[in-house]
Amino acid sequence: MDAIGRAWLSLDGLSVGDAFGERFFTLPELALERISRRELPAAPWTYTDDTEMALSIVEILIERGSIDQDLLAKRFADRMQPDRHYGPGTEALLAGLKTGREWRRLSKSGHGGIGSFGNGAAMRVAPLGAFFGDHGLDIVCEQARLSAEITHSHPEGIAGAIAVAVAAALAWQNRATGPLGPTWIRTVRDAVPRGYTRDAMGEALAVPPDATIVEAVKALGNGAGVTAPDTVPLCLWIAAHASDGFENALWRTVSALGDRDTTCAIVGGILALSHERGGIPQRWLQSREVLPIGPLVGR
């Protein structure tokens, strides 16, 4: 499978996960009751900003072969639909871009002048890791950084994007070899710059594969804080130990609650690459809202 095919495969996993997780944003007790019954939501499953921003990344990679930050910033702004549930910081930044303001100033001036360390750069980046899945990790890391900086200039926001992009690239490289496992987490962690996100990924290595999702959330977070350090580690732990496929991993992810569209998007974007055709249930793909760009290569 070529780079575009890999990116599209990951985008399918990301968008299905995003739309699936979004359907469970309800009272926790109601969500958990539906999850315990494995009650699939009624179609169509509409996607959120996770997918909308990932679409722009995939388009730029197809058009340019690498991240062009100015063009990607414009594409983010042009595509933004506020009803896709953008975070307030990103929505304000993209609204500023639409009025002609410069993204570098907006990104660095946000969040009290330190830039965003939210999970937004991580949620959209798995297809980038897939696209560069046959390159060295240095290229994956650099391209992930470029994609993140437009909206998330804080080192931790960038670290989250690097982690997920590397995770996706390595998932492709290790496809069909069984569970990705703790060695995969360790390799991903070692590619990430030092900081809270990397440290939290190290903590994922200490959570046993057979831990309950409640125990894993207690140790690693579930994205409820909407930051990279409290979102990415749980996603990597779930993906690493997903021995029973995409579907079961997504049910496990959504049962963690928290920022469930984003955690499901990250896990879905990674695990779609673990097997060459993704393992995404056809019913789930058909339930997801149709994407505005089509697969540019055969699946």
In a domain, 216, yes or no: yes
Residue appearing with tokens 């996960």: 17
CB neighbourhood size of 62 (10 A) = 16
72: closest CA among 57, 83, 58? 57
Task: Determine the residue type at 167.
Answer: A
In a domain, 229, yes or no: yes
CB neighbourhood size of 182 (10 A) = 18
In a domain, 295, yes or no: no
In a domain, 299, yes or no: no
| CATH number for 227 | 1.10.4080.10
Q: How many domains does the chain have?
A: 1
CA-CA distance, 168 to 135, in Å (whole number)? 12
CA-CA distance, 40 to 48, in Å (whole number)? 18
In a domain, 71, yes or no: yes
Tens digit of each residue's pLDDT, the chain (299 residues): 999 999 999 999 999 999 999 999 999 999 999 999 999 999 999 999 999 999 999 999 999 999 999 999 999 999 999 899 999 999 999 999 999 999 999 998 776 778 899 999 999 999 999 999 999 999 999 999 999 999 999 999 999 999 999 999 999 999 877 889 999 999 999 999 999 999 999 999 999 999 999 999 999 999 999 999 999 999 999 999 997 899 999 999 999 999 999 999 999 999 999 876 679 999 999 999 999 976 543 33
232: closest CA among 192, 277, 177? 192
In a domain, 120, yes or no: yes
Contact between 254 and 284 (Cβ < 8 Å): no
Domain of residue 145: give its range: 3-287
Strand partners, 45: 288
| pLDDT value of residue 297 | 37
| pLDDT value of residue 157 | 97
In a domain, 93, yes or no: yes
In a domain, 179, yes or no: yes
CA-CA distance, 198 to 47, in Å (whole number)? 29
Q: Strand, helix or coil at 34?
A: helix
| pLDDT value of residue 109 | 79
CB neighbourhood size of 85 (10 A) = 16
CA atoms within 13 A on the CB side of 245: 7
